Amino acid sequence: MRLSLCVILAVLFQFVHAPSANAADYDRPVEAPQAGGFSPSLFIFVTIVPYDGQGPGGWQEAVATLKFIDMRHLLPETWTCTIKVGMPIRPRKYGVISPAVAASMSAAAATTASKAVMMRQPKWMAAAYCIQFATEVRVTLNTTWVDLGARVNRL
């Protein structure tokens, strides 16, 4: 019996809602949609280049190891992908992005990307999936938030 996509994703990601960003972190945080799959707590952003308060600038990054399970087969397959997500603290277009909001944005993009990539092939090798997943997270971040300038690398 085939499980519906919703049931598979519910089991796969354990649906955790994103916490709201703490506006006290920075003077003008942007809003990010709540994530329904990967938890923002998996994306711990740290400052790489401090924001000096003048125009666009600063840089923050998070490294996350994400777990996947493909339940479309009789014997489910599991693997992990480790990615590094980086984005400006203050991009030109969106105002200051706090670490909490960056985590919510990344979790939402990872959730969207995982669904898109999983359905591209009937069966995946972990390494091939992780390469396409990292690329899809980057594309999702930079198309959802146009001109964000996010970078995503597979580690």
Is the pTM of the predicted complex or chain greater than 0.85? no
Instruction: Look at the chain and report how many structural domains it folds into.
Output: 1
| pLDDT score at 15 | 30
How crowded is the C-beta side of 85, counted as CA atoms within 13 Å? Answer: 32
| pLDDT score at 75 | 93
Residue 33 has pLDDT above 80, yes or no: no
Mean pLDDT of 146-154: 97
Are 58 and 79 in contact, with CB atoms under 8 Å apart? no
pLDDT tens column, 42-83: 999 999 999 999 999 999 999 999 999 999 899 999 999 999
Q: 10 Å Cβ neighbour count for 105?
A: 30
What span, in angstroms and rounded, lies between the C-alpha atoms of 39 and 107?
A: 6
Q: The domain containing residue 67 runs over which residues?
A: 5-154
| pLDDT score at 43 | 99
